[in-house]
Structure 1
Amino acid sequence: MHLRDLPAGELPRERLIMHGAAALSDAELLAILLRTGRTGENVLEVARGIVARFREVGLSEILAMPPAEFACIPGIGMAKAATVLAALELGRRAQNTAKIRPRIREAQDVAQLLRPRLSAEKREHFLVLPLSAKNEVLMVADVSVGTLTNTLVHPREVFEPAIRCGAAHVILVHNHPSSDPAPSTEDHRLTRVLKEAGALLGIPVTDHVILGGDAFFSFSEEGLL
């Protein structure tokens, strides 16, 4: 069967777009990289053959092979070998990088992490830090950029990144361009709204840190959460 004869919902690229990369088999992911098959075999069949070839040692063993040797596998060639090797190396580097994550123990850690990013901003930026159960920062998500005096923030935009990366809890962060980190009435209101939303979602808000100049304000450390 030609790959084009498969139903659209079974094509690797379409399945990735619909369901995410994690839903695909090793052969389907490899088929997306290879793009084309060879005479007598469609790309998915070629990919399955390669996966079977490395089943005992694992696909990571490809990185240990000389590129020219991998390219000699039927259906590969130098161009496809370069694509696959680049993807595997990028995945390896991404995995290594992901192991080194900032850990938040107190509001001071938040200030040190984000002050370089926000200190020169002339408008308010609202960010969310989704954290793991070990208080590791899973990502820094920009939620909203406002005017000099206010920021428009919706719970949907705040918690979507946290849900996406499986966060155990979140810390809210925004800056005051005035350099005064004291919370406004609107800051208090927004904190209450987002705390209630987090409680409903099972992703608690454990702090809201406001950065202003060299100072910061922590709702948690002030006993306001």
Structure 2
Amino acid sequence: MKRKRVNNLLKSENLSEVELSYKYKAKPSSLPQITCSGDAYNLLLSIWQMDKIEYIEEFIVLLLNRSNRVLGWTKVSSGGVSGTVADPRIIFQTALLSNASGIILAHNHPSGNIYPSEPDIQLTKKMKEAGKVLEIPVLDHIIITSENYYSFADEGKL
């Protein structure tokens, strides 16, 4: 009886096909390259919706290749005035699907305060550990405002 049930579960009509695909719009040499936190900050400012930077907290991830060229970016979440959710599973799913070799985490503080909160510090540690396991290093976590930024990497907190 058990054997028949297992065989029914293995029939192909019960399975969904998972197909992965990605297409680049540009040659790798033409992609923006991140050489320092300032490069990342300037790129993030060009991506960010400036009418929201001092209004609601958002979380964006930059996806990089082995040469630190930006393959793309994704907005992970949009929250409220004092917080947003950054789910590590979604972040690393995106990194894996884009074949990223490294990621830069970024979020804004609508208050204008560039310094990390305790939850920011804990999330960064958690993401760094997950990146080690998946061999997709977290290269930086940047907190941005319209006027300035804080880099975990520059401050030796990564």
Same fold (TM over 0.5): yes
- In structure 2, C-alpha distance between the alignment counterparts of 1:156 and 1:169, rounded to whole Å: 15
The runs of 5 or more residues in structure 2 that have no matched partner are 1-11
- Listed one character per residue, the Cα deviations across residues 91-146 of structure 1 (whole Å, up to 9, x for unaligned) are 9xx65x34421111111111111113243311111011111010000111111111
Larger helix proportion of the pair: 1
Please, what TM-score do these two structures have when normalized by structure 2?
A: 0.80
Shift of 1:154: 1.1
- CA, structure 1 residues 198+120, in 2 after alignment: closer, same or farther (shift >3 Å)? same
The runs of 5 or more residues in structure 1 that have no matched partner are 1-8, 10-16, 23-90
Equivalent residue of 1:114, what SS?
helix
Equivalent residue of 2:72, what SS?
coil
Q: 2:43 aligns with which of 113, 116, 120?
A: 113
- Listed one character per residue, the Cα deviations across residues 173-197 of structure 1 (whole Å, up to 9, x for unaligned) are 1111112211111111111111111
- In structure 2, C-alpha distance between the alignment counterparts of 1:201 and 1:21, rounded to whole Å: 20
Q: Is the 8 A contact 1:180 1:213 kept in 2?
A: no
Partner residue in 2 for 1:73: none
AA in 2 matched with 1:19: E
Q: Is the 8 A contact 1:162 1:170 kept in 2?
A: yes
Higher relative contact order (CA 8 A, sep 6+): 2
- In structure 2, C-alpha distance between the alignment counterparts of 1:216 and 1:139, rounded to whole Å: 21
Q: Where do 1:175-190 residues align within 5 Å?
A: 175-190=108-123
Partner residue in 2 for 1:126: 59
Partner residue in 1 for 2:4: none
Larger strand proportion of the pair: 2
- In structure 1, C-alpha distance between the alignment counterparts of 2:137 and 2:19, rounded to whole Å: 27
Of all paired residues, the percent bearing the same amino acid is 36
Q: Which runs of 4+ in 1 moved over 6 A?
A: none
Q: Is the 8 A contact 2:20 2:97 kept in 1?
A: no
Shift of 1:20: 4.5
- Aligned pairs, number: 140
Larger Rg: 1
Q: 1:208 aligns with which of 124, 141, 150?
A: 141
Partner residue in 2 for 1:142: 75
Equivalent residue of 1:208, what SS?
strand
Please, what TM-score do these two structures have when normalized by structure 1?
A: 0.57
Partner residue in 2 for 1:19: 19
- In structure 2, C-alpha distance between the alignment counterparts of 1:19 and 1:134, rounded to whole Å: 27
Q: Is the 8 A contact 1:101 1:138 kept in 2?
A: yes
Over aligned residues, Cα RMSD in angstroms?
2.2
